[in-house]
Each structure stands twice: as structure tokens, then as C-alpha cells.
Amino acid sequence: MVAAKAAAAGRAGLAAIICIGETQAERDSGAALAVRSAQLETSLPTDRRLCQGSAIAYEPLWAIGTGQTPDARAIAEVHQHIRQRLKALMGNDEPTIRILYGGSLTPANAKAILALPDVGGVLVGGASLRSQDFNPIIRAAAAVKQAPSETDLAAPALDAAQ
């Protein structure tokens, strides 16, 4: 169903944000990697051209709205794995897809998360509803974007001010 909706978005000239992520039970059982891989593989349109400009968002379900966030090492590992799977699935078209992080993003952790390799932007949930939280996240994104990294060369960072 997700792949069909992403394909419809692509045909309409829209960029889809395809969200993947594991539950706490899947994480605890050691199945998170397999779950995310399966979600990614079944969520991309079969016509990979329809993925142009789209994004994959890693949103660990157990973190959304809980105030819990994976540590930086875990986020970096997941994003690296997603990038590797995209390369395997899409070949040369893979760099056109950003990988975003979403899941209890706060002003306190935004800059560190945005600076991680393969993190091409963020999805901001509840913090986007409060200017005292959202404005510092925007400033963190701008600060990280001004410091070029390998990630910037592969996939442009999301400018939260756009």
C-alpha cells in the first residue's frame, strides 16, 4: 500500500516521505534491522524513477512522542544501513533520496542528530507546534548546513526554514 501511494505521489509530481521504523518489541527482540529492511524494500515504488526527490524517514515508533531518542551511534548505524539498502535497491538513482530522522527531536539534540553521517534532514513533530522549541531546531539545521560534510555531497540537508 505504501509503495502504491508513493508511486501515485511521484506520478503527480509530488515527493513522498516514506516512513520506516520499529516498535519497542521489535527492537528488544533484535528484529529491528530486518523490520526496517522489509519496510524499505516493500515501500519503494517498483518504478524507481517515481522516487526522485522523495525521502525515507527513520522514525523509531518507540521514540515518537516519548522523549526517548536513540543514541547518536544507533541513529548513524540505522541511516548508514538505509543508505546501503537504497544503493542496493536503486543503484545510481539512490543519491536523489534523502534520509531523514524523526522521533523525539528536540532543541537539545537537533544539532547533534543533523550532523550525523547520512542524516539528510529531520521530521519535526510536536516541537514544530511550539516556537520556543522549533526556532532552535531551525537554527541548528542552518548551523549544520553551513558546515559541509560528506552527507551534504551525497544528499542535500533539509533546510528547515524552507
Q: Over the chain, what is the mean pLDDT?
A: 87
Look up the pTM and report it: 0.85
Please answer whether residues 110 and 137 qualify as being in contact, where contact means their C-beta atoms are separated by less than 8 angstroms. yes
Q: For 129-138, how does the pLDDT look when each residue is reduced to its tens digit (9 = 90+)? A: 999 999 999 9
Instruction: State the pLDDT at residue 155.
Output: 41
SS3 127: helix
Q: How far is CA 29 from CA 33, 34, 37, 63, in A?
A: 11, 11, 16, 16
Instruction: State the pLDDT at residue 154.
Output: 42
